[in-house]
Copies of this chain bind each other. A is one copy, B any other.
Amino acid sequence: MMGPAISMDQPAVQPRQGVLVHGGDLADAASLFPQAPGPWIDLSTGINPWPYPVPDLPGASWTRLPGKAAEAALLRAAADAYGVPDPALLAAAPGSQILIQTLPFLRLPGTVAILSPTYGEHAPAWERAGHQVSLIHTLPDPDKGPLPDVLVLVNPNNPDGRLIVPDILLRWQERLAARGGWLVVDEAFADLVPESSLAPYAGREGLVILRSFGKFFGLAGLRLGFLAAPVSLVQALTGRLGPWAVPGPALELGAMALADRPWQDRMRGQLAQARAGLDAILAGGGREIVGGTDLYRLIRLEDAPDLFTRLGQAAIWVRRFPDRPDWLRLGLPPDVAAMERLAGVLRL
């Protein structure tokens, strides 16, 4: 895990022309492959294809202003599910994305190192707030060389699944906190590896954890995310978002799903099994499985652009990476038919 000290003079993020590349919008797929025979199979995200069932929600969750009691219930359920010692160390937001957008404005501009490649929204968010962003490709020894003011990493990482153990991260947290810095750990996919989460250490100085509700629970449209951090930072963040930040339906559904541990345990098993099935299909044909989580796999192959095209022509939408043309990321096929359609294209 250790590597050379951070070089702060690495070029920042690749120039962004307008919109970042994301998966999950089949309008993009249909416009790129207008001839593809629908219905599309969307494997372009890491969102669980077997969502937590949406019950009839109380009418008041739609009609009334979200109440303090409902928000407190959500934070308690989240603290329990994630292992955060105290709900006061948590803030809820309408999606973890808006936390990513807002966090950089909560400290003065400084140097930010982002362990890369990773989720593409972190770098522009820090740059937008005036920070000087460097992309680093290995995690250096925090005891050697210059430290950034903020280190940002996604754990487990998207797209390659790289996982850094808590001990190493806590050493970083200590070193950064000692100089007023932050360790920002985006745990968007940590539901799959709860033992790797830093949530039990939430509240430690300089430790900022982001959690995403929608991916593991398969409810990305709901928009629900959490920040776990020292109380002062939680308060600064909620002050920025203002009252009633989380819609009533998300408060209700989030509290319900986060409290449903049997569903979560069962789902972890189901996803692990589905991922093993996907790996079996992906193996061979000159493809290397680089890594991933139980919600997506990253493969490397020479003819990735060609495979992307063949998949698209078969109405299977996967994620490609402009600066890594040899990579493709695939989510879990939602059913046997999708599995077979995917296997059919991969066999060609």
Contact = CB atoms under 8 A, between A and B. Distances in A.
A222 B247 contact: yes
A95 B245 contact: yes
A276 interface: no
Contact of A62 (B45, B219, B242): B219
Contact of A68 (B25, B64, B66, B245): B25
Interface residues of A, number: 50
Nearest to A218: B63
A336 interface: no
A179 to B, nearest CB: 26
State the oligomeric state as a number of copies: 2
A74 interface: no
A333 interface: no
A121 interface: yes
A242 B94 contact: no
Contact of A97 (B98, B128, B244): B244
Contacts of A25: 65, 67-69
Interface in A91-118: 94-95, 97-98, 100-101, 105
A57 B245 CA distance: 22
A242 B51 contact: no
Contacts of A128: 239-240
Contacts of A220: 63-65, 244
Contacts of A63: 47, 51, 218-221
A26 interface: yes
A105 B20 CA distance: 23
Contacts of A66: 221, 223
A105 B129 CA distance: 11
A348 interface: no
Interface in A204-219: 218-219
25 contacts: A24-B64, A25-B69, A26-B67, A51-B59, A54-B59, A62-B219, A62-B222, A63-B219, A63-B221, A65-B220, A66-B221, A94-B247, A95-B244, A95-B245, A97-B243, A98-B242, A100-B242, A105-B105, A121-B242, A128-B239, A220-B244, A221-B248, A223-B245, A223-B248, A247-B249
Interface of A: 20, 22, 24-27, 42, 45, 47, 51, 54, 59-69, 94-95, 97-98, 100-101, 105, 121, 125, 128, 218-223, 239-250
Given A51-B59, A61-B221, A223-B244, 5 more contacts: A62-B221, A98-B245, A101-B240, A105-B105, A222-B248
